[in-house]
Structure 1
Amino acid sequence: MAEAAVRFLVEKLGALIVQEAINLHEGREQVEWLKREMGRMQCFLKDADAKKNNGDDERVKNWVTEMRDLAFEAEDIIDTFMYVKLRRQQPGCMGFMKRFVFIFHELVSRRKVHVDVQGIKTKLKELSESRARYGISNIGTTSQSRSPGGIPILPELIDDIDMVGFDDEKKKIGQELVDTNDTNRSVISIVGMGGLGKTTLAKSVYNDYKVKRSFDILAWVTISQQYIIPEILKGILSDKSETSSEDTIQTLSIKVCEKLKKGKYLVVLDDVWTAAVWNELRKVFPDVNNGSRVIVTTRFENVISIADALSIADPTTKLHKLRYLNEKESWELFLRKVFPRQDIETCCPACLLDYAHLLVQRCGGLPLALVVLGGLVSTKRQTRDEWHKVVDSTKGQFVESGERCLEVLALSYNDLPYYLKSCFLYFGCFKEDEEIPAKTLIRLWLAEGFLPKKNSTTTEEEIGSDCLKELAQRCLIQVIELEYDDSAKRCRIHDLLRDMCISEARESRFLKLYKNDTEDCPTTANAARQLIIFNEIETLNYSNSKLRGLFYGSTYNGLPFRALKGQLGIFKLLRVLLLSSSELDISEFPSEIKSLIHLRYLDLKIFGLKEVPSWIGHLRNLQTFILSCGGIEKISDSLWTIGNLGHVELPYSSSVPPPNMGNNVPKNLQTLEGVNAGSWIGSTLPKLENLCELSIRKVSNDHAGALSSSLQKLGRLASFSIVDGDEIHLDNIITAFSNQHCLKKLVLFGILNRKQLPHNDVFPQQLVEIYLSFSGLEQDPMATLEKLPCLKYLRLIDAYRGKQMICSATGFPQLLSLEIGAFHALEEWTIEENAMLCLKSLEIDFCKNLKMIPEGLKNVPLDLLQLGGMPKEFVTRIEENTGEDWYKIQHVPNIPFNLHMYYGVRHG
């Protein structure tokens, strides 16, 4: 009896295996057909999308929407098929057993794929027939979108603040700020609709050197709609050492008030939406009759008037209501964007003047509209045909008020090449006014599959960087900081443009901002591809199994993980997961992530985690893995078996053992940060030939030989850091790069047992940024560093123990920024004539024996001089007009003096 049962079971299993093989073969053929068809659909959509946006034909819009949804559905079927296929490929005995345990489920899944593909074929046929039936068969035949890489990218990413037309207003505000007759704490409000230039005007005033020299304490805080009072108070404090994790609103308020009482302060509250914000914050701004000021920018005039009415004896509020630009001012601002760094009087070709005037008129004097439209036109060829198309696209006179700006923004969005639209919409996934790391954006775009393909010599990261540059050139985003290689480091988006992002993304079901757990749960057919959760919720009520991206929490604030408990496993097709949790008692890696085998981007900020489990290796598609967990103690070596892994950023934790990558190293790895030194440096590091950024901890002399040997084989390395190094031999490590041309950034933390830098002849000549800390050098490092021809950024903290330092004539030919700190023995610093002729920023901190500012500084074209923790005698000598060394720095426009108060010295 038992033997018959066993025979029956074996026969059934054999039949199932045969059936599975048949289904697998059929499933593969159908999915391959679907992949080809989806490629055709996507190509068609690129052209159809351009046609849709060139007119108001609702038939075309609806048809394109249906085709896009069908493409999404095809993508879902392919990913579902791949999910089943990948799950059955788990290695080992357990994988073999699971294959048979789930064999019935897999047969059902493959049957469903067959049915779904047939459904796609039916819908495609219906859509094809409907084109001719409803007279929309002419779409998809032409496209005006540029091919990737065809846009002339301008050499400079960061624009200077374009303030046109507000000179008189700036002068008035400046006078009100420095008016010595008005000793009351007063509020200056700048009011105007979105896009009028409130923030630009406020920044121009705030950065004015005469204004800055009139105040001891300065702070700029952006408020926005979803404000958090504790975060605003921390922003005013600015120095992280002034706050702690236990601070409440009450303790923060006391700290802010006490800080502001110490001197004359200027605080800017940018983008205030409600009177409630000012009413909550007013009490922390003390009035000690020293002429302190608060600037408030807002879209709503009643924000300040209501606040004043509610206050009992508030000092006077000075109102500045911004106007639209006149024709001359509009013309100047528009041409600045279309023809940057050219003469306004002669830059526009005569044949284009009439079109330029038409476009300027249609912006109605709104600065943001002029800037964005100018950015759009700057990407066009300078021909009448090209500009005529832009004029035609504006469809006559724009309507009044805010709608005028929305028309221009929509026009600029619609003009984007197809691949750039998705990249731009992704900005809606971030919080209002957030400063977004450029590399984060590019990696997310890559994970989502947004970036176009180019030639084999161009990396996907380079393509992403070009996309970011084009969005900046079109003035749809703003780059606010550059990297060492002049690529974008951080960027942000104007809140009106972000509003348009979210509006367009909702319409196309690109993303959804999840407000609370009482919302209606959408059906899969109308659900968004990205789900964004920034506010605290009790339970996630969202069951879209086709979700591609989940943003839970933000860079700055985490949310309780309990709301996601038992929910993550639903989203089987997730490609992107950013999870920031505020709970400190989560010690185990969320096990539901194990089933998310389509994940390409995983960013976890869960500070209670102790271990990364071995099943992390099951995430075979993972490209980016970022872990911010201060208490992490173990990271499974299976992480390094993921072949697609491109970027790994681990927490700097001394308790994590060095990685053991073995022979199956992730050869596509480009970024590796936070790993501890070990034997892998000699055995594995040389195999990581595509590595571009490397940061290692706990390097000692035991590793120095292997490290220098391995580094010589990493020809693409652009950034190298040693953090928490023990005493190490510097010569071999630095000279390992002497014959390489890619290394641009070098960061060395730790004592160097050689007390001087290697000779300039063997020092890497292509370095752009250097940061040395705790080096313990006994010979002047400037003798070597000043000869580096490409060096732009130099930071030396507790790196030199000598008493004298010399910057020689013609030294540092390209240096833009220099910071020296904790040179405790330094007594004399000499800057010879013609040294550092490009230097714009200088910071000197805690050099307690430095007697005076260098004489040669009077010849250096500084824009900013910052001092911190300097002795009283040093500070007294550079007091404005009265100090004996004032003549050396009187040409510097920006010298914050608030730090002088640490020594009881007040400016002016």
Structure 2
Amino acid sequence: MTEAFALIQFAIEKTEKLLTREWNFPEKVNTDIRNLKDELDMMTAYLKQTDERGELDHQTLACVRKVQDQAHQIDNVLDKFSYHVAEKAAKWYSKLGANRYTKWRADHVISDMTDAINNSLKNMKEIRERYPIANNIIYSQDPGTSSAADLHQRMAPLFLPNAELVGFDEERDVLMSRALDEQETYKIMFVVGMGGSGKTALVRQVFEAVKKDFDCHAWITVSRPKTGDILSNLLGELCNSRAEPAPQLSFSSADLELELIKKLKEYLQDKRYLIGLDDLWIDNTWKSIMFAFPRANSSRIFITTRRADIAYSHKNESIEVRNIPHLSPEPAEKLFHMKAFPKTRRCPPALAGWSDNILRKCGGLPLAIIEIGQFLSSKRESESEWRNLHDDLVSELRSNGHLSNITRVLISSYNDLPYHLKHCFLFMNIFPPNYHIQCRKLIQLWIAEGFINGKNNRKELEDIGEGYLTELIERSLIQVSKVDIDGIQVSKVDIDGRPRTCTVHRIMQEIALSKIQDENFCEVCPEQRIISVNDKTRRISIHKSEIGPFNWPNIPASSLLIFGSRTPYHHIGPIPYSSLNFLKVLHLEGAPLDTFPEGIEQLLFLRYLCLRKTRIKSIPKFIGKLRHLETLDLKHTYVSKLPKEMCHLNKLRNLLVCRYNYDIGNSVSFNTVEGFEMSSRLELKNLRKLSFVQVQRDRQIILAMGDLKKLRKLGILDLCQKDGRSMCETIQKLTNLYSLNVTAKNEEEILDMQEMEPSPPLQRLYLKGCLKRMPLWISKLQDLVRIRLKWSRLTPPNNPLEILQGIGT
């Protein structure tokens, strides 16, 4: 349903754009578009109601797929209308003295498109009327009750023997010490981790070990219950721990929560209490009950949650947050062998390779290790059994009752997401397994896909995307990538705390791939598997495939991503771009390309083009036809010049062209980066990122860049001393610039950048070249978090540290 909802939202946005612009069309055209928008709004409400009502029968699920298919067709029709009709026919109508033939031509084209819109409108109405919501809802259980599977999911971690809690010794010791220290004030411990990380089992065992040292104690699950139920359950459990009868409550429903809080606080006032709140999902749940706990008597509260954002929002001197890491390889293997081979606890040599492969997929997640290990313990100890499980884990997680608990636990994090984050998360799972996704590139892809909506938001789309990424991390659905430094796992974050790369846990990705199949979100072609696409395929992701050639039918796919193909390009093609004319995203990073792919000029709706790490040397003139292009990524290619036709790309946000030349024999070479020559006529005023521009030959380029008011990141190469002042004048005009990278012509050339007043709100500054003295304006950069000076040759009394001391004062 995620994809259907997203497609309808995209279509609604497009109808709104068509209606708000003055196209000068006949009124009937505007009426048809308004009618379509109204029907799309009604279908949005239909999908929301369907999603909220519970488990659906097969008929209604089939209906949702029909809605999705129809929404995709509408999206494509509106794209066509916007490009072929709105932009061209409007010009025909507006021409002074347009002849009868010109107007007939405009009428004819518009008529064809409005017929397509009306046909879509008719189909949407038929679907909605044929499948009314109320008759197709199935409740597999009474609302508000728990199924046996859900009960098992919550109860199983509570009764694990201590011997089975492998790899948590350090965390257990920390929690024990926090529980038993002598502080008189109360203390709260948030324990955060993704689903299945073992946080409930760990905290429960600490709870059981220390509860005898407290006057009273209570452990309850707070996943979804109402506040009143939580409070009454707490009061009952606390009384029960002291073998006291629970007080009789006679409050009206209006006063229930407030009176329960008073009653709880009164009961706990003179007691040292221990509380365990398991599986917190909603911040308001904690905010509603927190006032019931007196802050005294060395009392302790443990809260387990997947929501790091909730935990850190409450952190203070009495509230601590502990993140539960995944198991490292050694304890993970020990736990797996305990479960898979309960008698010997040793893996036979013949299965050692498959044991390692399965453990890599488990990624140190205790729930996956335990459940898969227990499942394999019931199977024959044969390579074929273990290989089959490894190769078909996606289908096993979906259909195998023994492994369904893994899916049930992890998918709940996905189900809890708002719609706008669901398709962002699904998109991350079409990357290859264990792929470290560059965060900035991911956000560019989200923007190109239309997942980030800047409507009614003054923030830049990139900033909104960073917020989405942060929320997915804080919900424990994705992880910041880590690098091993001297045996210590260190997160790959920037100096200001922003993640550089992120990844999806392997088991979570296996489960998400099942969802991707259900939603028809993407056709993912992993290694050694033949691609299978049809007229309903919307995205295609190919992972290092060695199989080909592929058969490319005429399909309305919106995205094609190829990751590091190891075979000649013609083995995965030739890709008939004329059959993919609705493509918005084309990602060919690492493809074995020597020349710019032919046929791309036909992709009139293309927004994102990545040819990074290919061997192409030039960009053809027809690049100017791609009027909707927002990102052109030519990093690590041999392109050194762009055609003047680039000036037509008025929607371009990111222009990234560079190549790094690291000489192994001389790692401190000055000229390590090569950029591109840019025409001073490229008035790309929508640009946010531009790098690296070689400015040595044309001073006018420097001055022209002052008109790029939306620039946020700029990289400059080959700056001469005589152009330093002009560079400063340009930078002063770029009031949104947060990252500036300037390199001199050579190591002897002086960077004369002394005069800049006022300076932009730079956060990152990289200067490479000889400085006569430290520019004084640097000390006024109040937002600066990183500065890098290379080949500066500054000597006393020009001590850069003295100037930098003034930053932030």
Give the drift of 1:631: 2.4
Aligned to 1:121: 121
Distance in 2 between residues matched to 1:410 and 1:380, nearest whole Å: 25
Is 1:623 matched up with 2:630? yes
Change (3 A) 1:558 1:626: farther
Aligned to 1:822: none
Aligned partner (choices 753, 756, 763) of residue 732 of structure 1: 753
Distance in 2 between residues matched to 1:68 and 1:439, nearest whole Å: 29
Contact 1:521–1:542 (CA under 8 A) maintained in structure 2 = no
Change (3 A) 1:633 1:466: closer
Distance in 2 between residues matched to 1:132 and 1:119, nearest whole Å: 21
Is 1:642 matched up with 2:649? yes
Is 1:514 matched up with 2:525? yes
Aligned to 2:434: 433
Matches within 5 A, 1:839-854: none
Change (3 A) 1:633 1:681: closer
Aligned to 1:742: 761
Change (3 A) 1:590 1:453: same
Give the drift of 1:77: 1.5
Distance in 1 between residues matched to 2:40 and 2:496, nearest whole Å: 36
Task: Tell me the amino acid that sits aligned with residue 563 of structure 1.
Answer: I
Change (3 A) 1:497 1:506: same
Aligned to 2:425: 424
Contact 1:35–1:78 (CA under 8 A) maintained in structure 2 = no
Greater alpha carbon shift after TM alignment, 780-789 vs 689-698: 780-789
Aligned to 1:458: 459
Gaps in structure 1 of 5+ consecutive residues: 1-21, 92-101, 140-163, 172-193, 198-323, 334-343, 362-369, 383-397, 791-812, 814-908
Give the drift of 1:567: 1.6
Change (3 A) 1:607 1:63: closer
Aligned to 1:720: 740
Matches within 5 A, 1:587-666: 587=595, 589-605=596-612, 607-652=614-659, 658-662=677-681, 665-666=683-684
Distance in 1 between residues matched to 2:304 and 2:511, nearest whole Å: 16
Give the drift of 1:661: 3.8
Aligned partner (choices 503, 507, 514) of residue 514 of structure 2: 503
Contact 1:760–1:784 (CA under 8 A) maintained in structure 2 = no
Give the drift of 1:719: 0.3
Change (3 A) 1:40 1:531: farther
Is 1:543 matched up with 2:553? yes
Contact 1:375–1:475 (CA under 8 A) maintained in structure 2 = yes
Distance in 2 between residues matched to 1:124 and 1:332, nearest whole Å: 56
Contact 2:85–2:110 (CA under 8 A) maintained in structure 1 = no
Task: Tell me the amino acid that sits aligned with residue 62 of structure 1.
Answer: A
Give the drift of 1:453: 3.5
Aligned to 1:443: 444
Distance in 2 between residues matched to 1:521 and 1:26, nearest whole Å: 44
RMSD across aligned positions (CA): 4.7
Is 1:553 matched up with 2:552? no
Distance in 1 between residues matched to 2:280 and 2:606, nearest whole Å: 46
Give the drift of 1:429: 2.1
Aligned to 1:284: none
Q: Deviations over 1:318-367 (max 9, x none)?
A: xxxxxx6774435879xxxxxxxxxx999999838689756499xxxxxx
Distance in 2 between residues matched to 1:750 and 1:580, nearest whole Å: 32
Gaps in structure 2 of 5+ consecutive residues: 1-22, 92-101, 140-163, 172-193, 208-217, 238-274, 282-302, 316-396, 482-491, 661-672
Matches within 5 A, 1:380-391: none
Aligned to 1:576: 585
Q: Deviations over 1:424-448 (max 9, x none)?
A: 1011121111111111111111111
Give the drift of 1:786: 4.8
Give the drift of 1:401: 5.9
Give the drift of 1:591: 2.5
Change (3 A) 1:704 1:60: same
Change (3 A) 1:358 1:48: same
Distance in 2 between residues matched to 1:541 and 1:533, nearest whole Å: 16
Matches within 5 A, 1:683-722: 683-722=703-742
Aligned to 1:806: none
Contact 2:516–2:522 (CA under 8 A) maintained in structure 1 = yes
Distance in 2 between residues matched to 1:112 and 1:578, nearest whole Å: 33
Task: Tell me the amino acid that sits aligned with residue 659 of structure 1.
Answer: M
Give the drift of 1:720: 0.2
Contact 2:195–2:409 (CA under 8 A) maintained in structure 1 = no
Greater alpha carbon shift after TM alignment, 408-417 vs 419-428: 408-417
Q: Deviations over 1:535-582 (max 9, x none)?
A: 13322313243100000124x978635522252221001000001354
Q: Deviations over 1:230-250 (max 9, x none)?
A: xxxxxxxxxxxxxxxxxxxxx
Per the normalisation by structure 2, the TM-score is: 0.59
Aligned to 2:271: none
Distance in 1 between residues matched to 2:620 and 2:599, nearest whole Å: 12
Distance in 1 between residues matched to 2:659 and 2:769, nearest whole Å: 15
Distance in 2 between residues matched to 1:732 and 1:743, nearest whole Å: 15
Q: Deviations over 1:380-417 (max 9, x none)?
A: 999xxxxxxxxxxxxxxx99864223112221111111
Give the drift of 1:456: 4.2
Contact 1:547–1:573 (CA under 8 A) maintained in structure 2 = yes
Aligned to 2:787: 770
Per the alignment, in what secondary structure is the counterpart of residue 649 of structure 1? strand
Contact 2:55–2:137 (CA under 8 A) maintained in structure 1 = no
Contact 2:658–2:674 (CA under 8 A) maintained in structure 1 = no
Change (3 A) 1:425 1:657: closer
Contact 2:794–2:800 (CA under 8 A) maintained in structure 1 = no
Give the drift of 1:477: 0.8
Distance in 2 between residues matched to 1:630 and 1:345, nearest whole Å: 59
Q: Deviations over 1:813-837 (max 9, x none)?
A: 9xxxxxxxxxxxxxxxxxxxxxxxx
Aligned to 1:488: 499
Contact 1:425–1:501 (CA under 8 A) maintained in structure 2 = yes
Contact 1:717–1:742 (CA under 8 A) maintained in structure 2 = yes
Aligned to 2:476: 475
Task: Tell me the amino acid that sits aligned with residue 753 of structure 2.
Answer: N
Distance in 2 between residues matched to 1:42 and 1:720, nearest whole Å: 47
Contact 1:477–1:492 (CA under 8 A) maintained in structure 2 = yes
Contact 1:615–1:638 (CA under 8 A) maintained in structure 2 = yes
Give the drift of 1:45: 5.9
Task: Tell me the amino acid that sits aligned with residue 573 of structure 1.
Answer: F
Distance in 2 between residues matched to 1:138 and 1:38, nearest whole Å: 26
Aligned to 1:403: 404
Give the drift of 1:509: 0.9
Aligned to 1:675: 693
Q: Deviations over 1:609-628 (max 9, x none)?
A: 22112211111111111013
Contact 1:681–1:706 (CA under 8 A) maintained in structure 2 = no
Give the drift of 1:136: 4.7
Give % identity. 22
Contact 2:530–2:547 (CA under 8 A) maintained in structure 1 = no
Contact 2:541–2:561 (CA under 8 A) maintained in structure 1 = yes
Aligned to 2:203: 329
Change (3 A) 1:675 1:416: same
Task: Tell me the amino acid that sits aligned with residue 578 of structure 1.
Answer: H
Distance in 1 between residues matched to 2:466 and 2:86, nearest whole Å: 32
Distance in 2 between residues matched to 1:610 and 1:651, nearest whole Å: 12
Contact 2:89–2:106 (CA under 8 A) maintained in structure 1 = no
Distance in 1 between residues matched to 2:676 and 2:722, nearest whole Å: 16
Give the drift of 1:34: 6.7
Change (3 A) 1:467 1:765: closer
Change (3 A) 1:747 1:403: same
Change (3 A) 1:690 1:467: same
Distance in 2 between residues matched to 1:133 and 1:401, nearest whole Å: 33
